[in-house]
Structures are given as structure tokens and as C-alpha cells.
Amino acid sequence: MEFSSKVALVTGAGSGIGKATAVALAKAGAKVGLLSHTADEIDKAVGEITEAGGEAMAITADVSDEGEMRKAVEALVERYGRLDIVVANAGINGVWAPIDDLKPEEFDKTISVNLRGTYLTLHTTVSHLKKQGGAIVIVSSINGNRTFTSPGATAYSATKAAQVAMAQQLALELGKHHIRVNAVCPGEIDTAINDNTSMRNREETEVPVEWPDGEIPVNDGKPGKSQDVADLILFLASERARHVSGTPVFIDGGQGLLR
């Protein structure tokens, strides 16, 4: 029970990488706050954790809303008395479209959820981590950091690059408080994130490339699993990664090297 004395917050915890991470942390002994804007998803996930003997709390909040995030973090700390691990995972793909077609409100929405949401997650939690130290893991992407070929993904790629910059900036700022900050950069993972993706005029921005054997060298070209990313996050949050900070870790099966 590696995390038996720890309390963790995972945003975007209703499905995919967030849920897999929350479940893994709970199995390893942590008390976990699962945060999402969708109550049904996290209630179900919390039920799965408690039925397996873990301890978890469902928290409904919009990561881009300061007031909601403050209340969410206060409720978690009030219940468990501390906070040690923060996984900033909540995000959307948003609208992918040519830059002259991408509407300002569409750009702003992606920035609001992905970047402002990450900022508010850390802004509202770091004061609690400073009390005893801890670990922050930001879920970024190979997009904007290793690859730039997703057609029309300007807003999304910009937020993902900024998340890595934020992790590196804060690794230095928070090091004196014994807080480590790292980013994971997944490639294609078998999640439901495409459900909140809207694409327009893809043919205008797409660079045509054929992948006869699949674009992911590992696993016979198949996407990675949420659990693969969760395992990496657990390592970065653990004492085993005690000397790792300010580091973006790519987890894409080699996909980014092809693209």
C-alpha cells in the first residue's frame, strides 16, 4: 500500500486516464478525490473504488471556474485533512479547424478548459501541498511537444505545449517546498476524448501520410491503454520518483518518432 498515508486529487476522473489513475491510486492505498463536471461518471467510479475496499470522494466541479475549484479542494481537504498528490488531467480536444475558420469562442473554450483549468487546479491546491511537500502530475500530450501533424489542432496543441512549460516553470518554483512537478505526454490512447472533438475542413490542413503497418511501433500499431498512463503517473507521484521533477515523459509507444 504505497500511498496509504496520502490524499490525492484527480481531475477529469470520470473516465479514461483520469479514472484509471484514480482507481490505481486507491488500490495503492491513497484516499482519492475524483473530480469531474459529470456527476454520474464519478459517482460510478467512486462506487467501484469503495466496493473494492478503497476510499474515495466524488467532487463535481468545472475546472475552469475558480469558485467551484476552491470549494472542491476545500471539501476534499476538510474531509481527509491534507493533500499530497494532484493529477491535473481534465481536458478536451475541442474544435480542430483551419486557423482562419477556427472561431474565437472555440479557441477560448479549449484554452479555458485545458490551460486555465490546469492553472486553477494548481492555484487552488499548491498551498496545501506546501504544508508537507508532494507531487503534481500534469497530463499533456505528444501534440504540441513532439508532434504537430494533427490537422487543425492549433488551440489544443498550444495548451499542451503550455502545460509542459508550466510543469517546468513550477518544478523550479516549488522545489524548495519539496513539491515535484512533472508532465506525462501520451500519444494515442484508447479513451473517449474523441467524443468532445469537433473537426472541420480537415482536408485543408492535413498532411497526407500513409501508415501501412500502423503509426504506433509498439503493440502491433494499436493505441495504448489508460492503465499504461496511470502506471506512469503512479510512478511519478511515488517516492520512487523522488529525484524526478520538471520532466515531460512521453508515453506513446514510439508514435511521436514516426510522425
- Residue 82, C-beta contacts closer than 8 angstroms, at least 6 positions apart: 7, 128, 131, 132
Identify whether the C-beta of residue 10 lies closer than 8 Å to the C-beta of residue 223. no
Place of cell 470520470: 14
Q: What are the distances in angstroms from CA 136 to CA 9, 177, 235?
A: 10, 12, 12
- Residue 160 is which amino acid? K
Catalytic residue among 155, 156, 180, 249: 156
Q: For 69-81, b where at least 16 C-beta lie within 10 A, e where not — what string?
A: beebbeebbeebe
Whole-angstrom Cα distance, residue 160 to residue 200?
20
- Residue 212, C-beta contacts closer than 8 angstroms, at least 6 positions apart: none
Annotated catalytic residue 156: yes
Number of H helices, E strands in the chain: 10, 9
Catalytically annotated residues:
156
